[in-house]
Structure 1
Amino acid sequence: MNKIIVLGSANMDMVMRTSRVPEIGETMRGEGFFLSPGGKGANQAVACAKMGADTWFMGKVGDDIFGGSLADGLASYGVRTDYMVREPNVTTGVAAITVCNGNNSIILDGGANNQVTPEYIRRYERELLSASAVMLQLEIPMETVYEAVRMLKGKVPIFLNPAPAVPIDDEILRGVDYFTPNEIECRMYTNIEIRSTEDAFHALHILRGKGIQYPLITLGEKGIAYYNGTENVYKEALKVKAIDTTAAGDTFSGTLAAMIVTGKSMDEAVDLAQRASAIAVTRLGAQEAIPGIEEIVKQ
């Protein structure tokens, strides 16, 4: 069985390209505006599904035009939405994304994602416990993330992508199997500023000391550092021309989980996740930028 439940956020991304980041109080011209289904949870669910995993999304959207569009989009990628709720009288989460020279800045209104409560997920406890893996991020209320970890700890492998980064109790971190911060997020949990491979390995040691079984630190264009169950490993990034990094981390996280549940080793899973992420950043958008498994196995 390779059933993955992604418990997390779904947003409609409103994206525009600019030549530079505007200063406070400044109005400037942008170009290329488009709407793109997003949210870290939904993006990671799409990545899992495109990698062939039996993927189910658990979360909430509003009973509005964006909510219907997001639900239809997930279904079109093969993500099951049986556990997804359209919350009445609440707006769907939205993200305003500015893309500048291949990098992005994001302002987020959580909307219906803020209604993903512990009570909601307790209704699906049996389903969560039946999964091969459960994926979490931090765009839903923290009390819900905590409830999920306590419910699943030691019973179902937990993948936690700590974005956007906020403090997490050590008790909760001890229940996490796979932890995938980027280098900035990692600093919050280790107090290590990563400037070298040695720094990255030191941060991995600290994360393992908190009880995390498999910490992985994504380093953008510098690559990745991770613990594979036996030793710390550093791998360089694949060289590509990035035009939009919006989906990079979600593509990596979703691909990693999909590969792990299908029996790949950590090293194999990381290789494939790096390939998928490298392809995603060469395309605009989020879910539509994520490659399928047939693209990464050709590389």
Structure 2
Amino acid sequence: MKTLVVGAAMIDMLMKIEALPKSGEDVLCSESGIVIGGCAYNAANTLRNLESAADLCVPVGKGPYADMIRSELERCGYDILIQDDSQDNGYCLDLVEATGERTFITAQGIEGAFQKKWLDSLDMDQYDSIYVAGYQVCGQGGQAIGEWLCGHGDKQIFFAPGPVICSIDAAVMEQIFSVHPILHLNEKEAMDFTRASHQPDPGNSGGADGYVPAEDILDAVRELYSRTGNLVIVTLGEKGTVYYEGDELHTVPSVKTTVVDTIGAGDSHIGAVIGGLKKGLGREESIRLANRVAAAVVSVQGPVIDKETFEKRMEEHL
């Protein structure tokens, strides 16, 4: 059985700069380039490199960006599962600072307008797991994806909400939580969401429902687990990765590497977690594999890595 990877393929415009400019300031980039990216595309690339069976479910529109994406998907051997000519695909400006940290400015296209009829046309009998990226449930396509997921609660859902986690409609988030996804996010996302979910009441020392907002990552993962009832994975950068499944907080150390840029790090990490679990590895072993994969990806420029380079970098990050 395969994994269905749902989300976006879009254009990544990479620009290397010394540091983010201040308001009104001009800066020159030292290097630039255009590649195909998108959370789902990046995660699917990791699954391909791990030889884990998966289909990439991303809408391809009509226009110059869509043409570039279609050409790359065909070159990689992906079937185009969704074709909609109503608009072009979107793009993302990736500003990469000298430290390797990245800042994204995203202009959504057809990938931000998911429709339930697209998803209902898929043959779901060939999949036992589904990955969903957060950007596609943030906005007009969120309700369609949320309703569709509620009809596939028999599958293992992997949900990576990403930095837009606090912008996802609360009703859509509840739909996704109701199918008990394995949740994958970073420390900032976990803390921001659990704090935003319980805005303080002026007459209450706790949150709006009496809950005391999370003060540390253990509080945050406990809150997230209480809402999903399934594994919660939180990446902490160089501090490693923690996971929680209702008992105690487990830590898996990071892998030392030289960071070129961090674009695609989280996407490759969740892709490797899925790939490890599908190969029969335990949860800790899958996360340990994911830490190695993420270390390999951040050691090269851009969000994806070809198979030959992937295998070489994985050997280096044993």
TM-score where L is the length of structure 1? 0.88
Q: Is the 8 A contact 1:272 1:296 kept in 2?
A: no
Give 1:288 shift.
Answer: 3.0
What secondary structure, in the 3-state scheme, does the structure 2 residue paired with 1:97 have? strand
Select the residue among 274, 277, 296 that pairs with 1:260: 277
Note if 1:74 corresponds to 2:73. Answer: yes
Does 2:57 correspond to 1:58? yes
1:138 to 112, 134, 139: 134
Say yes or no: does 1:296 pair with 2:300. no
SS in 1 for 2:66: helix
Partners of 1:116 and 1:286 in 2: how far apart?
Answer: 23
The equivalent residue for 1:99 is 96
SS at match of 2:34: strand
SS at match of 1:72: helix
Alignment correspondent of 2:120: 122
Alignment of 1:91-240 (within 5 A): 91-101=88-98, 102-124=100-122, 127-140=123-136, 141-153=141-153, 155-163=154-162, 164-165=164-165, 166-167=167-168, 168=170, 169-191=173-195, 199-227=216-244, 231-240=248-257
SS across alignment from 1:37: strand
Partners in 2 of 1:61 and 1:175 — Cα distance? Answer: 27
**For residue 129 of structure 2, what is the amino acid of its counterpart?**
A
Q: Residues 232 and 128 of structure 1: is their aligned pair in 2 closer, same or farther, counting only changes over 3 Å?
A: farther
Q: Percent identical across equivalent pairs?
A: 22
Question: Secondary structure in 1 aligned to 2:27?
Answer: coil
Where 1:33 maps in the other structure, the secondary structure is strand
Structure 1 unmatched ranges of 5 or more:
193-197
Query: Gaps (5+ residues) in structure 2?
Result: 197-214
1:270 to 270, 287, 293: 287
Residues 102-111 or 136-145, more deviating:
136-145
Cα distance in structure 2, aligned partners of 1:160 and 1:41: 11
Q: How many residues align?
A: 288
Higher relative contact order at CA 8 Å, sep ≥6: structure 1 or structure 2? 1
Q: TM-score w.r.t. structure 2 length?
A: 0.83
Query: Does structure 1 retain, via aligned residues, the 8 Å contact 2:8–2:38?
Result: yes
The one-letter code sitting in structure 1 at the alignment partner of 2:114 is: V
Equivalent-residue separation in structure 2 for 1:69 and 1:270 (angstroms): 33
- Post-superposition offset of 1:66: 2.5
Offset of residue 70 of structure 1? 2.0
Contact 1:56–1:82, Cα closer than 8 Å, also in 2: no
Once residues 202 and 100 of structure 1 are traced to their aligned partners in structure 2, the CA distance between those partners, rounded to angstroms, is 32
Distance apart, 1:230 and its partner CA: 5.9
Contact in 1 for aligned 2:114/2:145 (Cα 8 Å): no
Shift of 1:203: 1.8
Amino acid at match of 1:111: G
Q: Deviations over 1:88-109 (max 9, x none)?
A: 2412110011100200010101
Q: What's the CA shift string for 1:200-219, capped at 9, x where partnerless?
A: 22222111111231110111
Question: What letter matches 1:145 in structure 2?
Answer: I
For residues 178-204 of structure 1, give each alpha carbon's deviation from its aligned partner in whole angstroms, at most 9, with x where no partner exists. Answer: 100111111233229xxxxx9222222
| 8 A contact 1:247–1:289 mirrored in 2 | no
Deviates most, 40-49 or 271-280: 40-49
The structure that has the greater radius of gyration is 2
d(CA) in 1 for partners of 2:161 and 2:268? 14
Q: Offset of 1:130 from its aligned partner? A: 3.0
What is aligned with 2:40?
41
Q: Give the alignment's Cα RMSD to 1 decimal.
A: 2.2
Query: What amino acid is aligned across from residue 87 of structure 2 in structure 1?
Result: V
Alignment pair present for 1:6 and 2:5? yes
